Amino acid sequence: MIALVTFLTGLLFGLGLAVSEMTNPAIVLGFLDIFGNWNPSLVFVMGGAVAIGMLGYVIRNRRTKPWLADKWYVPTRRDIDKNLIIGSAMFGIGWGLSGYCPGPGLTALTNNPAEAVYFVGALIVGAGLFHFQNHRKNS
For the chain, which residues make up each domain, given as ranges? 2-138
Cα-Cα end-to-end distance for the chain: 36
Instruction: Write the DSSP string, 46-109.
Output: HHHHHHHHHHHHHHHHH-SS-SSSSS----------HHHHHHHHHHHHHHHHHS--HHHHHHHH
- CA 15-19-24 angle, 5° bins: 105
In which band, very low, low, confident or very high, does the pLDDT at 107 lie, cut at 50, 70 and 90?
confident
Give the model's pLDDT for residue 1: 87
pLDDT at 103 over 90: no
Per-residue model confidence as pLDDT tens digits over 9-49 = 989 988 888 888 888 888 888 988 899 999 998 899 889 99
Write down the pTM of the prediction. Answer: 0.69
Per-residue model confidence as pLDDT tens digits over 48-78 = 999 999 999 899 999 999 988 899 888 888 9
Give the model's pLDDT for residue 136: 76
